[in-house]
Amino acid sequence: MPGPTPQPGADNRLQVSRAEDAVLVQVIGLGNMFLASTLHGLVESELKAGFCNFVVDLKYCTGMDSTFMGTFIGLSNQVKQKYGWFCLVNVSDENQRLLKMLGVLHMVSVHEGKVPHVEGKTSTLFPTTDPYVRQKQIHSAHRNLMDADPENVKRFGPFIQALEAEMADVPIILPPNDADETSQGPCR
């Protein structure tokens, strides 16, 4: 009797380390729509904790889908608003080709130097399983891609229209008023 069907991307994960002033995120496996929400949540959480500098290491990233790449654009913009930096390192030729094809390289920095090695505690994060959170991230990422390159409007326009029609049936729950982002402290 076969076992349970594995969740798509179950082997994909993020390895996270923190230094004094930066967060190092290693992408292990496929950077896809299941892992994009996890990455987004991590960066938002670290920004609230005062970290504003992020290094995303793609050395062990076997490929990326459009949601994952579009998420880089949104995160880079968020981090820049906090006067921090967000960069990609160890980008393979194939991943570089994908990033260039969708216009991401115009919006996100790629660093070619040596990656800082962080000693200490490393945590592992797995793909988000909440379908609503994932759907919102897919939408946001593809909007970012369409803003980055006019060719992406042709690629993703019909998809976004269909997704927005589907999302229109889902009630929106607003956060409480005390979730004001302006009350955050300075970056580390």
Q: What is the pLDDT of residues 25-41, one digit of tens each?
A: 999 999 999 999 999 99
DSSP state of 174: P
pTM: 0.84
Asked whether the predicted pLDDT for residue 149 surpasses 50, the reply is: yes
**What's the pLDDT score for residue 88?**
97
* Higher pLDDT among residues 2 and 141, named by residue: 141
pLDDT-derived band at 78, boundaries 50, 70, 90: very high
Asked if 127 and 30 count as a contact pair (C-beta separation under 8 A), the reply is no
**What's the pLDDT score for residue 1?**
40
Average pLDDT score over residue span 53-75: 96
Average pLDDT score over residue span 51-69: 96
> For 91-143, how does the pLDDT look when each residue is reduced to its tens digit (9 = 90+)?
999 999 999 999 999 999 999 877 766 666 889 999 988 888 999 999 999 99
